[in-house]
Amino acid sequence: MASRVQQLSVELAGRSYPVVVGPGARHELARLMPAGARLAAVVTQARVGVGVETGLAQEVFHIGDGERAKELATVEELCRGFSRWGLSRSDVVVAVGGGVVTDVAGFAAAVYHRGVAVVHVATTLLAQVDAAIGGKTGVNLPEGKNLVGAFWQPSAVVCDTEVLAGLPERERRSGLGEMAKYAFLGVPGLASMTLEDAVASCVACKARFVSADERETDALGGGEGGRSAGRALLNYGHTLAHALETVGAYDLRHGEAVAVGLVFAARLARRLGRVDDGVVAEHERVVHAYDLPSRLPPGVGHPELVEAMGRDKKASGGGLTFVLDGPDGLEVVPGVPVDAVRAVLEEMSR
């Protein structure tokens, strides 16, 4: 039977890298190791339970579970472990897991010896369609998510769709939240595709944005006619999602928070007169088709959310900044009045 593994590419001047997608893709890992590497430091979490064969001398480094592990202390612990093991600058870090693992291991790789190669083996839907691609790495601070990090592109990414079969239901739904986002970034028909085609389509979409604007420098006005065309658009739905996650205390996974954030963004765009009711209804339809939430969790504190959104790294002086839909499609919109944001939060709590 023909292999259903496909190879895509993130095109970057001089640093393009392959993304291998499909059932059994993890078995291609050895051929993706950087030339000259002798040692592979495999960073994972005990619960991931996906074994990899790098074809090099390898050692497993475990990090803790959950978002709590995404902190500077974990990066220090990893780098000290790499050093004790003798990992050199020409060796490789292999991150095996979801977004927490790829973000933390990617950041450790970015700073260890001022940068060693990293290969991501993404084992969750969320990591396959988003976290493992694009080179943003980092950790959280108590003040906010992803506040310390680096752009550090992997030298290859593996998205083995076979390992998704073992994902807990909440994890799968979390990935679907990011997948729903791609429906608004120009990927049609996702819901009717096979899993591997859906993952590959999202990867291809993300790769186009990353290739066009690797470091998110095109946040405002860089696109055609002064519109944003950059990878900042990948943050669609994320300003509220990050605020929900930062404020915490709500039992929402990242993709579930993104789903709420997508509907919030559509409603905010409507309140600002940028889109009509049909656009809001389409956002709700896509989010509900994936059985994801479209309302704020009960008891959520609006002032805390507004404050957290103000601290979001996309915020710039005067009002808040969001990616919003409009007559010309998605764009980064600064200076959104706080009153409009509050009114939509109210609307979404009913």
Tell me which residues are annotated as active site.
114, 136, 178, 206, 216, 231, 235, 238, 242, 254
Task: Show Cβ contacts of residue 167 under 8 Å, excluding neighbours closer than 6 positions.
Answer: 124, 125, 175
Q: Which amino acid is at 128?
A: Q
Rounded Cα distance, 226 and 16, in Å: 28
Question: Rounded to the nearest 10 degrees, what angle do helices 254-271 and 238-247 cross at?
Answer: 130
Minimal distance, residue 286 CB to ligand GLY, in Å: 21
Q: Minimum distance from CB of 267 to ligand GLY (Å)? A: 25
Which stretches within 113-224 are classed as H helix?
125-126, 169-183, 195-212
Tokens 């108590």: give the residue. 142
Q: Spell out, one character per residue from 76 to 115, where the chain touches ligand GLY: x when CB under 6 A holds, - when not.
A: ----------------------------------------
Distance CA 103, CA 43 (A): 11
Paired tokens of 316: 């710039």
Residue nearest to ligand GLY (CB): 134
Half-sphere exposure in the Cβ direction for 88 (13 Å, CA): 7
Q: How far is the CB of 47 from ligand GLY (least distance, A)?
A: 21
Question: Residue 239: which H helix or E strand, with range?
Answer: helix 238-247
# binding residues, ligand GLY (CB under 6 A): 4
For 91, the 3-state DSSP assignment is: coil
Q: Which is nearer to ligand GLY, 151 or 297 (CB)?
A: 151
Instruction: State in angstroms the smallest separation of the CB of 35 from ligand GLY.
Output: 24
Residue among 125 and 131 whose Cβ is closer to ligand GLY: 131
Report d(CA 324, CA 195) in Å as an integer: 28
Residue 98 or 135: the one with the smaller Cβ distance to ligand GLY is: 135
Please report, as a single letter, which amino acid is at residue 122: A
Closest CB to ligand GLY among residues 150, 315? 150
Cα 281 to Cα 233, 267, 286, 315: the distances in Å are 21, 9, 9, 27
Which of 131, 263 has the CB closer to ligand GLY? 131
Per-residue contact flags (x/-) with ligand GLY for residues 112 to 151, judged by CB under 6 A: -------------------x--xxx---------------
Q: CB-wise, 131 or 292, nearer to ligand GLY?
A: 131
Q: Report in angstroms how near the CB of residue 123 gets to ligand GLY at its nearest.
A: 15
Phi/psi for 272 (5° steps) reads: -85, 5
Q: Minimum CB separation from ligand GLY for residue 206, in Å?
A: 7
Is position 181 an interface residue for ligand GLY (rule: CB under 6 A)? no
Q: Which residues bind ligand GLY (CB under 6 A)?
A: 131, 134-136
